[in-house]
Amino acid sequence: MKHDSLFQSFTLPASGIQLKNRVVMAPMTNSASHENGDVSDDELAYYRERSGGVGAVITAVANVTEDGIGFDGEVGVYDDRHIEGLTRLADTIHAEGAKAILQVFHAGRLAPLHLLKGGSPISASAIAHTDMEGKDLPVPREMTTEDIQRVIQAFGEATRRAIKAGFDGIEIHGANRYLIQQFFSPYTNRREDQWGGSLEKRIAFPLAVVAEVKRAVKEHAQRPFIIGYRISPEEHYEPGITIEDSLYLVDRIADESIDYIHLSTMNFFEGSIRDQNDTRLPTVRVHEKVGDRVAVIGVGSIHTPEEAARALDTGVPLIALGRQLLVEPHWVEKVQGGREGEIRQAISRQAGRETLVMPAPLWNMVTNAPGWVPVED
């Protein structure tokens, strides 16, 4: 089979769960859940359309507390009432043959005020975020020790709910500038207590979340359960996260016997975003550091089967497709079936969102964000 490396099965090291191939669906915001955080029918249809070929689906992020919400239309996992809808979501993914992994997070200082119902965003320190237009968002409230313990426990409760809903695993979202990364980053964590300061103290919160998730799995799971962790390997900020910081973090996380580390990068094949002279691939560097203990998932600007195979040729065992599965939900099936010529290369406005089984909020996002995905009239 052409590109047969993509279709070899893979056994995750900690849980022993086997994925049918090396391709997973990357977590992507779809803004399709109901206002109360419940899963919608549009959301189920979107995942049903994209779950047939991949080995696993990592869902859009779910907030573990009400004050951790990051987007309109975000699925919730902060209350037991969400379990019914989450069960429907897990069942939908399973029915198409993929493993179902729920990504969980807290937005921290990036929680929008209009979703906080009169509350204020919280973070490791009272450092405001500056958006892409150069505008400062509201200054978050520095979390108290009680806040920190509450949120850590919420990750455990979210894991319990994911288990009860029938998911195969969860992915701890420690990337993309959200709360866990806010504790890890020297830019957003200016604390002088046990939760901040030195690198060792800045990883205390991420490691505490991992420990709490593992505790919940041990207590509630009756069968093997996947634990993954997502990181952004570097930050543009100064001071910001360096690749050396991240290598230290993943080394410690790998010692916790989880299944995988998932890097969040815009382009798998590009080097450091902090040092243009450093052309070493961050994902490969992480794999070289911890790949003997945990699986590594690479992502970013992988569009063609050739690019996917090239990424696996680096030794990284798993790759995630995001934007490509928006454009072509059946990318994996078409590659595996030798029908590469049928793969869509762009989203067609004329064909409409129904053709791609895409919720209206997501359709509006992708068709109005120049350069995110190819769009043609």
**Which pLDDT tens digit goes with each residue over 115-168?**
998 899 999 999 999 887 888 889 999 999 999 999 999 999 999 999 999 999
State the residue range of the domain holding 14.
4-376
- Average pLDDT for the chain: 97
**CA–CA separation, 129 vs 119, rounded Å?**
17
Q: What is the mean pLDDT of residues 330-351?
A: 95
**Which pLDDT tens digit goes with each residue over 233-258?**
999 989 999 999 999 999 999 999 99
Query: Could you tell me the end-to-end alpha-carbon distance of the chain, in angstroms, rounded to an integer?
Result: 35
Residue 1's identity, in one-letter code, is: M
Q: What is the mean pLDDT of residues 78-91?
A: 98
| Token pair recorded at residue 143 | 């979390």
**Cβ-contact 279, 313 below 8 angstroms:** no
Q: What is the mean pLDDT of residues 203-214?
A: 98
pTM score, whole prediction = 0.98
**CA–CA separation, 42 vs 120, rounded Å?**
31
With cut-offs at 50, 70 and 90, classify the pLDDT of residue 72: very high
**CA–CA separation, 190 vs 135, rounded Å?**
21
CB count within 10 Å of CB 26 equals 24
Give the residue from 63, 68, 73 showing the smallest Cα distance to 360.
Answer: 73
What per-residue confidence (pLDDT) applies to 107?
A: 98
Sequence-distant (≥ 6) Cβ neighbours of residue 269 within 8 angstroms: 281, 300, 301, 307, 310, 311
Let me know if 178 is a catalytic residue: yes
Residue 371, classified by CB atoms within 10 Å of its CB into exposed (0-12), middle (13-18) or buried (19+), is exposed
**CA–CA separation, 126 vs 136, rounded Å?**
12
| Half-sphere exposure for 97 (CA within 13 Å, toward CB) | 11
**CA–CA separation, 320 vs 338, rounded Å?**
20
**Cβ-contact 96, 112 below 8 angstroms:** no
DSSP per-residue codes, 73-89? T-EE-SSGGGHHHHHHH
104: β partners: 62, 172
Active site residue: 46, 47, 78, 178, which one? 178
375: β partners: 347
**Cβ-contact 193, 126 below 8 angstroms:** no
What per-residue confidence (pLDDT) applies to 150?
A: 98
**CA–CA separation, 191 vs 126, rounded Å?**
9
**Which pLDDT tens digit goes with each residue over 278-303?**
999 999 999 999 999 999 999 999 99
The owner of tokens 């379990």 is: 83
With cut-offs at 50, 70 and 90, classify the pLDDT of residue 1: low
Q: Is the pLDDT of residue 90 over 80?
A: yes
**CA–CA separation, 71 vs 198, rounded Å?**
31
**CA–CA separation, 141 vs 318, rounded Å?**
38
Q: Where are the alpha helices (DSSP H) in the chain?
A: 41-50, 83-95, 145-165, 179-184, 199-202, 204-220, 243-254, 282-290, 305-313, 323-327, 331-336, 353-356, 360-367
**Cβ-contact 206, 250 below 8 angstroms:** no
What per-residue confidence (pLDDT) applies to 117?
A: 86
Give the residue from 173, 348, 180 showing the smallest Cα distance to 263.
Answer: 173
| Token pair recorded at residue 63 | 């907030």
Q: Which CATH number characterizes residue 171's domain? A: 3.20.20.70
Sequence-distant (≥ 6) Cβ neighbours of residue 23 within 8 angstroms: 6, 53, 54, 55, 308, 318, 319, 320, 321, 332
**CA–CA separation, 113 vs 151, rounded Å?**
19
Number of domains in the chain: 1
Q: What is the mean pLDDT of residues 221-230?
A: 98
Tell me how many helices (H) and strands (E) the chain has. 13, 16
**CA–CA separation, 132 vs 129, rounded Å?**
10
**Which pLDDT tens digit goes with each residue over 162-188?**
999 999 999 999 999 999 999 999 999
Higher-pLDDT residue of 206, 237: 206
